[in-house]
């Protein structure tokens, strides 16, 4: 079985690989949807005190992998851009990977939107009760991607949830990061 835990070595390599990719990246004018801008970089990570504050503000204990991720990266230094297939609409900008405390209102809004379709989203996810835990909560990480915070510090399932459309996007935060940012 592959190691799915996020380690300091993984994070150092991940930050280097993503920033290298973004440094030489270009905006694809032929697509709708938000894209990382060329030259984007990760913001420095949070201190343990800041991570504790973040968990307290959301009322969610984070799994170990999310804590490790946040120790190395706290969102990106630029917003993502949607060029709307160059159809004449003005470009839109939005937070990419959320950063604390800068994006706390957007993060709280994501949690509120999730609550509106909670039952349908959970049904759509088709996760077993033992995986969800007794009182599952979701911590937004990037757009409509959430880390499942189910009370198990060793579990870091990532879900993509938009209204009642919900899927497991990664069996761990590490798998998600590799698929979303390095593929």
All structural domains of the chain, each given as residue ranges with its CATH number in brackets, are 8-181 (3.40.1580)
Asked if pLDDT for residue 182 goes beyond 90, the answer is yes
List the single range of 36-45, 67-76, 123-132 with lowest mean pLDDT. 123-132
**Are 67 and 51 spatial neighbours (Cβ–Cβ below 8 Å)?**
yes
Question: Kind and range of the H or E element at 81?
Answer: strand 80-82
Asked if pLDDT for residue 108 goes beyond 70, the answer is yes
Q: Which two tokens stand for residue 155?
A: 């579990």
pTM reported for the whole predicted model: 0.92
pLDDT in tens, 113-133: 988 888 888 778 776 666 776
* The pair of three-digit structure tokens given for residue 159, joined into one six-digit string: 């879900």
Direct distance between the N- and C-terminal alpha carbons of the chain, in angstroms, rounded to an integer: 21
Longest alpha-carbon distance in the chain: 49
* DSSP state letter for 84: G
For the chain, the average pLDDT equals 92
């Amino acid at each position: 079985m592959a190691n799915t835990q996020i380690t300091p070595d993984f994070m150092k390599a991940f930050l280097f690989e993503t920033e290298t990719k973004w440094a030489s990246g270009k905006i694809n004018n032929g697509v709708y949807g938000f894209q990382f801008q060329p030259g984007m970089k990760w913001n420095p990570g949070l201190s343990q005190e800041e991570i504790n504050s973040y968990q307290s503000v959301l009322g969610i204990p984070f799994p170990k992998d999310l804590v490790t991720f946040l120790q190395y990266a706290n969102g990106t230094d630029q917003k993502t851009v949607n060029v709307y297939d160059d159809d004449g609409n003005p470009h839109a900008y939005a937070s990419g990977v959320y950063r604390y405390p800068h994006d706390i209102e957007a993060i709280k809004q994501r949690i509120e939107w999730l609550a509106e379709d909670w039952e349908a989203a959970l049904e759509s996810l088709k996760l077993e009760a033992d995986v969800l835990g007794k009182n599952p909560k979701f911590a937004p990480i990037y757009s409509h991607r959430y880390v499942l915070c189910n009370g198990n510090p060793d579990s870091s399932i990532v879900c993509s949830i938009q209204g009642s459309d919900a899927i497991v996007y990664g069996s761990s935060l590490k798998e998600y990061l590799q698929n979303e940012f390095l593929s």
